[in-house]
Amino acid sequence: MPRKLHEGVSPAWPLATIAIPTHRDFDDISVTQHAARALTSYDIHATEAGVETFVVPGSLPVFAPPAFPLSLPPDAPTPAVAEAFPRCPLEPLLRALAITAPDVDPASFDVVTDRRNLRLLLDFATDRTREFRLNAQIVDGTLLLARWIDWEQRAATVVGAGKNWEHACTRRRGEQLAHKRAVGYSLGGLRMCVSSMINARLPGDDDDDDDDAASGKEEGDGDERAAPEATITPTGHRLIRAGSFAPQSAMVQIKSCSQRASQRVVLSRALPQMWFSRTQQLCTGQHINGGVFVSLALADLDADGAFADWQRDNSDHLKTLVKTLYELKTTLTRLALPSDACATFAVICRTGRGTGVATKLQVYGLARDYGFGLPDDLVDALRGTRDSAAAPAADADAALHAAMEKLDLREPSVPLRRGLKRAP
């Protein structure tokens, strides 16, 4: 049965409403990604008996172009699946961060999110959106945004041979369901930690070592091989330390399109997600008749200037996105009771197309028995000091951040939860 946008909300009415920002304040926001840094990576494996398994830093499939022409069947229907780490999909990210970037204080981030959420909020900021939902948590000023997906509906709408193409142009490693990666940067004064799914990496000199790691082998004394280190997390999940952390410049996003599609159309679809995750390499497979692939193109979107061009062309939209993130962070912080410094919410986008009603974000509380939120040990980690920043802002961004934190960005018509007063 399809999931309902309002599942688990309590009370049944919105606690606050956020309109698309229209004010012109702080239009000098910098939307350049300052001090971008690769932070961590991990593989997600199949769930067994309710236990999730993830491997840090994991092993990516290696990009290996096939011979052409290549005929591929349509992707098989994907059975409906549940979200990995359903209580909080961001849990493995924060646990992996402590392993690959122990110098980074997770409390230094203003926003921790999946790339998909930023794309949805960018569509909202430009009023080109559909209805969607994000689950959110605020922990001592850090805004966590977790994706919310109707997996059953998504499984029913799979078309084309995109997955088969992805497998055809990579050399697979291990049995992971997905490989995820996180980058940190400052955007408009907000310190961001953004995770995304990565399809492959360019070949490297350490491929043989990675093959050993992916198969559960590590260097030992002489020719001996030791099993990778495995631990049980406080939440009962299995964490394995194996693989290697590949350079950010080697990350590849794999797409497919009709041979008749223009490069402009291909880039318009790929650039938003690749810009947010700083994924430079775009592999585009071109096909005819939907299943016969005849060629591929590999482009470095950073080196050829595509990232810079897209950022320039979408600067106003990105500024509106930054303002939306500030409003979300400010609104959720004020809705959280002082005694509940890790409150959870559902953020639901309602569109007004054809009705004359403006598109808006509605913020709902989540029932305590809904089962969403970071586990206690990670909440404690986020309640640390906020002195070290994974992606330190430039001086101008830091000043802007401090100024915007003091603003009440909501319109006067935005309802407050009963009993709360607007800050002076």
Residue with tokens 């850090």: 142
Ranges of beta strands (E only) in 101-141 are: 111-114, 132-139
**Tens digits of residue pLDDT in 115-158:** 999 999 999 999 887 899 999 999 988 999 998 987 666 555 55
Whole-angstrom distance between the N-terminal and C-terminal Cα of the chain?
46
pLDDT of residue 409: 41
pLDDT of residue 190: 97
**Is residue 338 very low, low, confident or very high in pLDDT (cuts 50, 70, 90)?**
low
Question: 219 in helix, strand or coil?
Answer: strand
pLDDT at 396 over 50: no
- Of 405, 350, 424, the C-alpha closest to 190 is 405
Q: How does 133-146 read in b/e, with b if 16+ C-beta sit within 10 Å?
A: bbbbbbbebbbbbb
pLDDT of residue 208: 55
Residue 289 CA to its chain's centroid (Å): 33
**Rounded CA gap, 168 and 163, in Å?**
9
**Tens digits of residue pLDDT in 232-250:** 999 999 999 999 999 999 9
Q: What is the mean pLDDT of the chain?
A: 83
Predicted model pTM: 0.86
Q: How does 378-409 read in b/e, with b if 16+ C-beta sit within 10 Å?
A: bbebbbeebeebbbbbeeebbebbeebeeeeb
Q: What is the mean pLDDT of residues 390-395?
A: 43
User: How many H helices and E strands in the chain?
Assistant: 10, 21
**Which range has the worst mean pLDDT, 293-297, 345-349, 407-411, 420-424?**
420-424
